[in-house]
Amino acid sequence: MCGIVAYIGRRPARPILLEGLKRLEYRGYDSAGLAVFNGSIAIAKSAGRVSVLEQKVNGLGGFDGTIGIAHTRWATHGEPNDTNAHPHTDDVSKGHGIALIHNGIIENYGVLKQYLEEKGHTFNSDTDTEVLTHLIGELYDGDLEAAVQGALREVTGAYAIAVICNEQPDVLVVARKGSPLMVGVGKDEYIVASDSSAIVAHTTQAFTLDDYTVAKLTRDSFRTTTVDNVPLTPQIRELEFDLDQIELGRFSHYMEKEIHEQPDSLRRCLKGRTDTREGQVVLGGIAEYARDLVKARRIIFVGQGTALHASMVGEYLMEDLAKIPTEVEFASEFRYRNPILEDGTVVIAVSQSGETADTLAAITEAKQRGALTLGVVNVVGSTIARDTDAGVYLRVGPEIGVASTKAFIGQVMVTTLLATFIGRRRFLSADYVSQLLTSLEALPDHVEKALQLSEEIKDATSRYVERENWLFLGRGHNYPVALEGALKLKEISYIHAEGMPAAEMKHGPIALIDDGMPVVFVATKNSQYEKVISNIEEVRSRGGHVIAVATEGDNAIRKVAEEVFYVPDVPEPLQPMLTVVPLQMLAYHAAVLRGKDVDKPRNLAKSVTVE
């Protein structure tokens, strides 16, 4: 959940490292630091945002070298402060001038720390990372690569690290297990980063490190090995996006930009995957397993946060369109509760980054128990994409904002395609599928129309933004949308919000409703519309103020709602991809109106790569 950038080449390292940290700041912003070799290793670090570090470094000398490492932190061990910020160094009194940055968690750091203290090491921070740095220093005997390999054979946990050493000023060593790390390959230079957003400005060629892989980089060569020093040959590939896709352009925030990118994101997601004339869905990534999917007796979705909500929509879709019993599990709970995975079970992992630690662990457990595993991810070449048996990419483009928006809509689109793919092979007619696909292909235009509500939603939100407690209610396919709307409001505006099935309100939460409390209903025309209207009346009778997402042409709902945001009429299974859009904009405007940092909400990071 931290951001790593490292550079070795012919150019000055400092500006490349600082630029990379800014692009990775969504991965963590408790503190930041960098180390550059310029005759000796110079280190600067500070609590707070990357801008604080930049001001500090620009006022110091000694950072003009061509090899360095940099880090932006999301704290796991030790409070966010200058001391606990990375890089960390080995023991000053007996060390070798080793500096290290780390994303992940060293689970056995306590045992290792005791061992090193008995060896005479003195520690300055509260972090597990410093323990790893000292261990490398303890094992160093003139070969940094060998010392890193040896240390990593002793640690338990997850790591992505970059290491430099005063005694080997032309060597950068990096390694990963469980936390993402990739190496950009330029001309006489290498740029290492947690993801490609920090690399794409410098090169389009990169390779991803697999678990237990160590890479030794010099200015004109590299070699990769396992931690046991077995040589490996990585696959260098083209990056999937260019620099323009991660620039803000005319928008004030990445979240705003990514909300407005959703129509084009859906078009990319659909491209080449629908054959409306034949009534077929074309998913090359799972074609090899089509027969297994048709024969599946049970499907389990695993995910966290927004991906979990998309999975819940997927549950409705699978049971509606494919008629396969389906469950949704928190990935973080799945592997710890001894799940029953009988023959014919398919486990589908949903993740934007493809690096979510809990979801990776769930997939590992499922594979060990013999289940077929599929990945629904956005990042090409990510760990979930590599570790699952097959899968489907979202193709929605890079998502920088911490609060996921276009990834959610892409995840729902892919699960819709997946359910239709299976359902067509089981019992759905070609005519039905053709009609459904026609509606799917029209959806991007409908989302564009919904985006035109932005100013209307902003105006309505301004009337309620000071209220500290909200409810979000929906039924059927739109129940997960209510959960997602509440999550968005919580994570970027810090307003307390609860999402739930509309009927569940009467079983306790209705006690929360008081005069003027905002209650958001997803109240589109569908099979449960009349029931939702009854729930609205229950809220109104207790003084709640109703904000409704409704279907165009439904004038009656204005009699029971203070605010109404109309969206085009689409088939019920497809409604979540449309009804979520006004809720995303509501959360965005609420955060801006309250003066919050939309793209960097407190305590959150984009990709949760530790448990």
Q: Which of 196, 218, 239 is the last residue of a domain?
A: 239
Examine residue 608 and state whether it is found in any structural domain, yes or no. Answer: no
For the CA atoms of the chain, what is the radius of gyration? 25
Q: Based on the structure, what is the number of domains in the chain?
A: 3
Examine residue 607 and state whether it is found in any structural domain, yes or no. Answer: no
**pLDDT band for position 151 (50/70/90)?**
very high
403 and 265 co-located in one domain: yes
Examine residue 258 and state whether it is found in any structural domain, yes or no. Answer: yes
Say what the pLDDT of residue 605 is: 62
CA distance 427 to 323: 9
* Minimum mean pLDDT range among 385-389, 496-500, 598-602: 598-602
**pLDDT band for position 609 (50/70/90)?**
low
Question: 104-141 pLDDT, tens per residue?
Answer: 889 999 999 999 999 999 998 888 999 999 999 999 99
Tell me: pLDDT of 610 over 60.
Answer: no
Question: 48-100 pLDDT, tens per residue?
Answer: 888 888 888 887 777 889 999 999 987 666 677 888 889 999 987 667 899 99
Tokens representing 459 are 């105006």
**pLDDT band for position 568 (50/70/90)?**
very high
**Strand 168-177 relative to strand 213-217: parallel, antiparallel, unpaired?**
antiparallel
Say what the pLDDT of residue 29 is: 74
Name the burial class of residue 604, with classes exposed (0-12), middle (13-18) and buried (19+) by CB atoms within 10 angstroms of its CB: middle
Tell me: pLDDT of 255 over 90.
Answer: yes
Instruction: Provide mean pLDDT across the span 380-391.
Output: 91
| Among 129, 108, 106, 123, CA closest to 33 | 129
Cis peptide before 518 (omega within 30 of 0): no
In this structure, how many other beta carbons lie within 10 angstroms of the beta carbon of residue 543? 11
Rounded to an integer, what is the distance from CA 352 to the centroid of its chain?
5
Q: Which of 189, 205, 239 is the last residue of a domain?
A: 239
pLDDT > 90: what percent of the chain?
Answer: 74
Say what the pLDDT of residue 473 is: 96
Q: Residues 6 or more apart from 64 whose CB is under 8 A from it?
A: 12, 14, 36, 38
CA distance 526 to 477: 10
The domain that contains 351 carries what CATH number? 3.40.50.10490
CA distance 96 to 165: 7
SS3 603: coil
For the CA atoms of 356, 358, 362, 363, the dihedral, rounded to the nearest 10 degrees, stands at 20
Examine residue 610 and state whether it is found in any structural domain, yes or no. Answer: no
Question: 179-217 pLDDT, tens per residue?
Answer: 889 999 999 999 999 988 889 889 989 999 999 999 999
Rounded (to 5) percent helix, strand, coil in the chain? 40, 25, 35
The domain that contains 75 carries what CATH number? 3.60.20.10
Tell me: pLDDT of 429 over 80.
Answer: yes
CA distance 21 to 17: 6
Q: Which pTM value belongs to this model?
A: 0.84
411 and 498 co-located in one domain: no
Say what the pLDDT of residue 518 is: 95
378 and 482 co-located in one domain: no
**pLDDT band for position 408 (50/70/90)?**
very high
In terms of pLDDT, which residue wins out, 1 or 172? 172
Mean pLDDT of the chain: 92
**pLDDT band for position 611 (50/70/90)?**
low
331 with 349: CB under 8 angstroms?
A: yes
90 and 215 co-located in one domain: yes
CA distance 273 to 487: 30
Q: Give exposure, 355-376, as e/b (b: 16+ Cβ within 10 Å).
A: bbbbbbbbbebbbeeebbbbbb
In this structure, how many other beta carbons lie within 10 angstroms of the beta carbon of residue 46? 19
Examine residue 481 and state whether it is found in any structural domain, yes or no. Answer: yes
261 and 383 co-located in one domain: yes
255 and 292 co-located in one domain: yes
486 and 439 co-located in one domain: no
Which CB contacts under 8 angstroms, 24+ apart, belong to 560-564?
560/533, 560/536, 561/521, 561/523, 561/536, 563/460, 563/463
Range of the domain at 257: 247-451
184 and 264 co-located in one domain: no
Say what the pLDDT of residue 352 is: 93
Tell me: pLDDT of 357 over 90.
Answer: no
Phi, psi for residue 363 in degrees, rounded to 5: -65, -40
Identify any residues that bridge with 191 across adjacent strands, giving them in sequence order.
Answer: 7, 184
186 and 231 co-located in one domain: yes
Tell me: pLDDT of 478 over 60.
Answer: yes
How big is the chain, counted in residues?
611
CA distance 611 to 603: 15
Q: Residues 6 or more apart from 555 whose CB is under 8 A from it?
A: none
603: left (phi > 0), else alpha (psi -120 to 50), else beta? Answer: left
Question: Which candidate in 45, 488, 490, 606 is catalytic?
Answer: 606
**pLDDT band for position 608 (50/70/90)?**
low
* Minimum mean pLDDT range among 271-280, 531-540, 571-580: 531-540
Task: Let me know if 2 is a catalytic residue.
Answer: yes
Say what the pLDDT of residue 84 is: 87
168 with 219: CB under 8 angstroms?
A: no
Examine residue 222 and state whether it is found in any structural domain, yes or no. Answer: yes
Question: 290-340 pLDDT, tens per residue?
Answer: 999 999 999 999 999 999 999 999 999 999 999 999 999 999 999 888 888
pLDDT > 70: what percent of the chain?
Answer: 97
Say what the pLDDT of residue 442 is: 97
Identify any residues that bridge with 97 across adjacent strands, giving them in sequence order.
Answer: none
Q: Give exposure, 437-472, as e/b (b: 16+ Cβ within 10 Å).
A: beebeebbebbbebbebbeebbebbeebbeeeebbb
Q: Residues 6 or more apart from 451 whose CB is under 8 A from it?
A: 259, 260, 262, 263, 581, 585
Q: Give exposure, 283-295, as e/b (b: 16+ Cβ within 10 Å).
A: bebbeebeeebee
Say what the pLDDT of residue 246 is: 75
298 and 219 co-located in one domain: no
In this structure, how many other beta carbons lie within 10 angstroms of the beta carbon of residue 37? 26
**pLDDT band for position 24 (50/70/90)?**
confident
SS3 463: coil
CA distance 576 to 578: 5
* Minimum mean pLDDT range among 335-344, 457-466, 564-573: 335-344
Q: Which of 178, 205, 239 is the last residue of a domain?
A: 239
Q: Residues 6 or more apart from 160 whose CB is under 8 A from it?
A: 4, 102, 103, 104, 174, 175, 176, 177, 179, 180, 181, 194, 209, 609
77 and 154 co-located in one domain: yes
Question: Which candidate in 2, 165, 177, 257 is catalytic?
Answer: 2
Task: Let me know if 488 is a catalytic residue.
Answer: no
Q: Give exposure, 378-397, as e/b (b: 16+ Cβ within 10 Å).
A: bbbbbbbbebbbbbbbbbbb
Examine residue 605 and state whether it is found in any structural domain, yes or no. Answer: no
CA distance 376 to 415: 8
Examine residue 611 and state whether it is found in any structural domain, yes or no. Answer: no
Tokens representing 402 are 């911490």
Instruction: Give CA separation, 133 vs 30, 96, 173, 465, in Å.
Output: 21, 11, 13, 47
Q: Residues 6 or more apart from 269 whose CB is under 8 A from it?
A: 394, 395, 396, 410, 413, 414
377 with 353: CB under 8 angstroms?
A: yes
**pLDDT band for position 509 (50/70/90)?**
confident
117 and 226 co-located in one domain: yes
